[in-house]
């Protein structure tokens, strides 16, 4: 399989929309990813920020996988953490190295930014994601996640 991993940047709103569409399909959550799509202006501003990282894996012009992450600048030391917010691969392309390629691309990009760790959360029932992330590390934390209403 020949694929390329692309770092999306300012002006690539059409590709960002395809990435959103893929997330909605893979996560079976079209409402969150497509019901209220952001404007091109919003996406361009987001894609132009250094702290926002969007990667798309493309095969034959189709987005088959993607990763969105945020760089969190730390205050206690001059370094940053990278939070993988979303990572998904279409079912037909799973277990073919796409997710690993996305994470490896991210690792290469953020090393020069002074990042010291990449972290991600996985839902307990998502055995596939948990197994994948375990394959990338020997360190796992057992944490709670809380959503606090605004």
Once rounded to an integer, what is the mean pLDDT over residues 25-37? 91
How are beta strands 80-89 and 115-120 bridged, if at all? parallel
With 80 as the cut, is the pLDDT of residue 62 above it? Answer: yes
**Can you give the pLDDT at residue 1?**
64
pLDDT in tens, 106-124: 999 999 888 999 998 877 7
pLDDT over 90 at 129, yes or no = no
Q: Convert the pLDDT of each residue in 75-84 to its tens digit.
A: 999 999 999 9
Q: Which residue has the higher pLDDT, 57 or 146?
A: 57
Q: Which of 70, 64, 53, 59 is nearest to 18 (CA)?
A: 64
In sequence order, the 6+-apart residues with CB closer than 8 A to the CB of 79 are: 114, 115, 116
- Give the separation between CA 119 and CA 133, rounded to whole angstroms: 10
Supply the mean pLDDT for the chain.
Answer: 90
Label residue 14 exposed, middle or buried (CB < 10 Å: 0-12, 13-18, 19+): exposed
4-136: what fold?
A: Aminopeptidase (3.40.630)
The pTM assigned to this predicted structure is 0.89
């Amino acid at each position: 399989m020949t694929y390329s991993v692309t770092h999306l940047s300012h002006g690539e709103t059409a590709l960002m929309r395809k990435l959103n569409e893929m997330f909605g399909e893979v996560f079976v959550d079209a409402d969150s990813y497509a019901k209220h799509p952001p404007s091109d202006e919003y996406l361009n501003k987001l894609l132009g920020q250094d702290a926002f990282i969007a990667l798309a894996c493309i095969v034959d012009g189709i987005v088959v996988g993607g990763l969105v992450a945020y760089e969190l600048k730390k205050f206690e030391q001059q370094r940053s953490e990278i939070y993988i917010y979303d990572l998904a691969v279409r079912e037909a392309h799973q277990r073919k190295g796409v997710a690993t390629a996305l994470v490896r691309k991210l690792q290469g990009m953020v090393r020069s930014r002074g990042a010291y760790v990449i972290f991600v959360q996985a839902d307990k029932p998502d055995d596939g994601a948990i197994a994948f992330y375990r394959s990338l590390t020997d360190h796992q934390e057992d944490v709670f996640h809380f959503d606090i209403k605004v």
